[in-house]
Chain A
């Protein structure tokens, strides 16, 4: 059996890589995808911690979070498409 500690360390690595993506890009879509990477890291951390503590509601929270993340990603991509059609760019510095 693999200790949840290793899952937590993996989640920290994935989360940090997502943070690098947000800091190192000005492309709105790439920033959104980097935020999704961070979300994946957070979910893994939640479930790894739940496996240790035995918090029974954690998988329920994870399922709700996955579904809401899907809704958020779809809406955000739609807004980005509309912005691109209106402004012709996805550079967040120019959009702001």
Chain B
């Protein structure tokens, strides 16, 4: 990939991820917050691909954005919004968030992790199919069972 295109993609994806994270937290409408969550998943998928993990990026789009976010988007249509919390609590949460970011950024910069390197995705694909096929199978069954159980729980069966 051309370096400038890569940098532009990175800037766009990071901007989309941060703006959609703010939207999930701050949007009054739950529906639009859920849509923002789907956008965050897509932006994350672009970042995964830029890191060299194309397979993880595809899984993120297929499972996280395609299934989970779509499910949440339709589910939140049933709910009502609550009134906003008082300003002191919102201010406290902003302080907490800033403290978390500052701490994590300091740890990342001081530890020197992430200064160079690039992964290849074929290693992950081969590992998943050759060495980790049983966890993959279990996870696939778990996801299917969770979807079926989710419908059963929401419909209140067994009461």
Contacts and interface: CB of A to CB of B under 8 A. Distances in A.
Given A30-B30, A82-B156, A20 B93 contact: yes
B82 A16 contact: no
A72 B146 contact: yes
A84 B142 contact: no
A50 to B, nearest CB: 6
Interface residues of B, number: 86
Given A16-B101, A44-B44, A77 B75 contact: yes
B18 A10 contact: yes
Chain B binding surface SS class? helix
Q: Tell me which of A2, A49, A66 has the highest count of chain B C-beta atoms within 10 A of its own C-beta.
A: A66
Contact of B25 (A21, A57, A74): A21
B25 A52 contact: no
B72 A67 contact: no
B119 to A, nearest CB: 5
Interface of A: 1-10, 12-21, 23-27, 29-30, 33-34, 36-37, 40, 43-44, 47-54, 56-60, 62-64, 66-75, 77-82, 84-85, 90-91
Closest 4 CB pairs of A and B: A59-B124, A20-B97, A24-B93, A71-B146
